[in-house]
Amino acid sequence: VIEETRRWASIVKTDFTRLREINDRLMMAERAFLEREGRLQDHVALQQNQTSISKHIPELNTMIRAAIFYVFFALTTSLSSCFSPKSHYHSLFLSNSLANNASIAHNLYMLTRRPHVAGTEANTETAEYVKSILTSNKIKSHTVSYDVALTYPASRSLTLTPEPGHPPIVFDLRQEIYNGDLYADVANEVMMTFHGFGRTGTVEAPVTYANYGRVEDFAMLKEMGVKVSGTIVLARYGKIFRGDIVDNAYAAGAIGTLIYTDRKDYGGGGKDAGWFPDAKWMPPTGVQVGSVYSEAGDPTTPGWPSTEGCERRAYEEAEKLGVVPSIPSLPISGADGETIISSLGGRLANDDWQGSKDAPTYRVGPGPGVVNLSYNATKTIATIHNIIGVIEGSDEPDRFVLLGNHRDAWTFGAADPNSGTAALLEVAQRLARLQKKGWKPRRTIIFCSWDAEEYGLIGSTEWVEDNREALKSKAVAYLNVDVAVCNEGFTASATPQLDELLKWTTKQVKDPKNTSQTVYDSWASSSGSPQVERLGGGGSDYSAFVQHIGVPSVDMSYRVGGYPVYHSMYDDFTWMEKFGDPMFHRHVAVASIWGFLALQLADSEILPFNYLSYAEELQKSAKELEDEISNKTTLAPLHKSVDALTKSATKINNEINAIEEDIRQASPRKKDFTRARAINDRLMMAERAFTDPDGLSGRPWYKHLVYAPSKHNDYGSKSFPGIDDAIENAKTLDTAEAWQSVQHEIWRVSRAIKQVAQVLSGELT
C-alpha cells in the first residue's frame, strides 16, 4: 500500500506540474504576437505548442482520473519520503571520484588541434566533437544552425615611410612559428591577422599616437594641440574594446587605425621577461586579432534571428548606419608598433603614455612617419552551429537553467574559449554520472555551445532572438563561462540577486592552489570580501540573456593577473599546459563551481535568489549618480523606487522563510507546491521587469535599463546606462533640453524598478 501510494502521489504531483506547464504555454503564447516595432512574430512556435498540447490532453485526463482514486493516500502520506534527497548528489558532484582533470586536458587538446574560426570547416568539427561528448553521455543534443554575415581577410598590407626621402619599411604582418612548435604543421591554417568586420579601404597619412584610444586620450591630444583629423591613429590595446578604439578615432577625424599589443601590457614589461615558449608573455611578433563590431548578433538581421530565408538588410546598409566601423583598421604586433612609434616626432607623450622600460621614447606625432594601410575583406553569409544539450527536469521541466560557453576561436583558442568548453564538457560528464546513480534535476538543465561569439556574440544572440518569448517565460538563470582559465586569480560577475549563492558556492569548492582553503578564501584574500562584478559589459554571451531579455546571469573565470597571449596564435595547448594551468586543477575548480551553481538553481525547491542584494546595489549606484547630476534634475523618483524594491524584497524573503519552515515541519500538500511555484515565478520574472521594450536611446537592442555596455567601451559595465549617456550629453551641451533628457531617463529607470518591486510583491495596484 505504501509503495502504491508513493507511486500515485508522484503522479499527482507530476500532473499538476504538467498542467501548470501547459497552461503557461497557452497563457504566454499571446504575448509572442507582441514585437518591439509592431511586427508580427513567427507563429510556427504557437502551432507546434498547440499540436503538442492536444497530443497530451487525453493522456493527462486518463492519468488524473486514475490518480484521484489514490488521492486520499497521497494526502495522508508524507510526500517528502517519495523523493530522494538532492544534497547527497550535490556532495557527490564535488567529490574527487567524479572530478577528472585528465579528461578536461584531453578534451581541450582535441578541441584545439587546429585553428577554428567561426564559419570554417575546422569549427564545424569542434561542434561535432562537443555534440559527440554530450550524446555519448546520454544527454539529448541537437544542432541549431544560422546563416550569418561574417567577414574574412582577402588581403592586407602595411608600409611605413619613416621620413621623407627614406626607403619604406614593408611589414610582413606575420606571427612567427617558434622552435619546437607542435602546431607548425597547421600554422598555415591560421588566418592572416585582421579585424572581424573591419572596413575595406586603402589610406595613407601621417601617424598620431593616441595611447589606449579612449575618449579621454583623444581629449588629451586635443588639449596638447595635436590635430588628429586626417591622420592614421596608432593605439595600444588594453583598456577598452578595440571596436571603440576605431570608433573614437573616427570621431576625432582619423582616416585609419592601427592597434598594437604593447610589451608594457602583454610582454612582461620588457625584453628581460622573455616570451613564449620560454615564458608566458606575448612574443614580439604576436598579434591580437579580434572583431571591431560593437553590437550584438548578425549585423544584417538586427533584432531577429538569421534563420534560413529570413529578412536580411544589405551589409552596405549596416556600413552606412555606422553599425560596423567607418574607417579601415588593422591589428599589428608590439614590434611593429614600436617601429612606427620610433618614426614619430611632435610633443613628448605623458609618462603614463610611455611604453616598457626598454621601449623607445613615445611621442604623439603626427608624423613625420607616414603609413600606407590597405585592407580588403571578403564578406560572406556563413553557416554557424550552436550545440544544445538537454537534461530534462523531473518536476518542473518547463523551467530552464542554462549553462553556456562559446566554441569558436580566432586561432587555436586554448584559453579563449576552449578552456571554458572543456569545463562545460566536464560539468556534463559529471552530471551524466549522477544520472546513472539515480539523480534527476527538478528543473531542466540546458548546455549551450555557442558559435561565432568572437565576431559579435552572434551564435548566442541569434538563438536568444529565435527563442525570445519561450526564454522570457521559462529561463531561470544563465551561467556563462568564456575563458575558464588563463591565470591564477578567480573572478566572477553576476546580476545582484545571485551574489549570495555565488559566494556560498565558492565556499564549497577547494582552492586549486591551496586545498586547505576554499575558492572563496583565496577570492577574498586580497580585499577581505570577494568583489562580485556586474554584467553591464558586452564582452561575452551573457549579453543577450541579461541585456536583451532580462535573465539572471553569472559569468566566471580564472583570469585575474592578465592573459598575455590573448587572441594570438600562441594561445595553444602548449601555452596552457606550460603556463595557464599545468595540472588543469583550475579547470576542475571552474567546472565544480559552475556545475554546483547549476545544481542549486535546478534542484532547490525555492529559487536561491535574494533581491535585497539587488536593492543595496541600486542604492550604491544611485548614490554615485548624485555627484554627476546638476541641480536641474532630481533623483527623488529613483530613491523612491529603490525603497519600494527593498520593501518587496523583504516581503518575499519573509514568505520564503515561512514556506521553508512549513516544508520542514509538515508533509508538503498541493498548496505548498503551488505556493512555491508562485514565489519562484515572481523571483524568476522580476529581472525581466528591468527591461524596457524601447531599449536604450540610440541603442534599442539593449533593453535592460540597469546594466548595459558603456557607450564608448563595449567591455565597460555601466549602471543606469541610459542616465549615464544622457548626463554625458547634457554636460557637453548644457542646455535645459539636454538636462530634461537626463530627468526623463531617471524616470524611465524609476518606473522599471517600481515594476520589479510589483512583480516581487505578487500584488496588483
Catalytic residues: 453
Q: How far apart are CA 607 and CA 91, in angstroms?
A: 19
Q: How far apart are CA 621 and CA 721, in angstroms?
A: 11
**Amino acid at site 645:** L
Nearest to 696 by CA among 36, 5, 11: 36
Beta-ladder partners of 449:
387, 405
Distances (CA, A) of 456 to 293, 408, 576: 6, 11, 25
Which residue matches cell numbers 514565489?
Answer: 679
- Where are any strands of DSSP class E within 481-540? 489-494
CB of 446 within 8 A of CB of 389? yes
Q: All 3 cell numbers of residue 216?
A: 579621454
Q: How far apart are CA 705 and CA 753, in angstroms?
A: 9
Q: How far apart are CA 181 and CA 272, in angstroms?
A: 22
Which residue matches cell numbers 610633443?
Answer: 347
Give the total residue count for the chain.
765
Beta-ladder partners of 348:
363
Enumerate long-range contacts of 697-702, CB under 8 Å, 24 or more apart: 697/722, 697/725, 697/726, 697/741, 697/745, 698/725, 700/36, 700/303, 701/295, 701/296, 701/297, 701/302, 701/303, 701/548, 702/547, 702/548
User: C-alpha angle with apex 578: 572 to 579, nearest 5 degrees?
Assistant: 90
Helices (H), 355-467: 418-436, 453-456, 458-466
Q: How far apart are CA 270 and CA 338, in angstroms?
A: 12
- CB burial of 731-741 (b: ≥16 within 10 Å; e: otherwise) equals eeeeeeebbeb
Q: All 3 cell numbers of residue 514?
A: 591551496
Q: All 3 cell numbers of residue 246?
A: 576605431
Q: All 3 cell numbers of residue 255?
A: 582616416
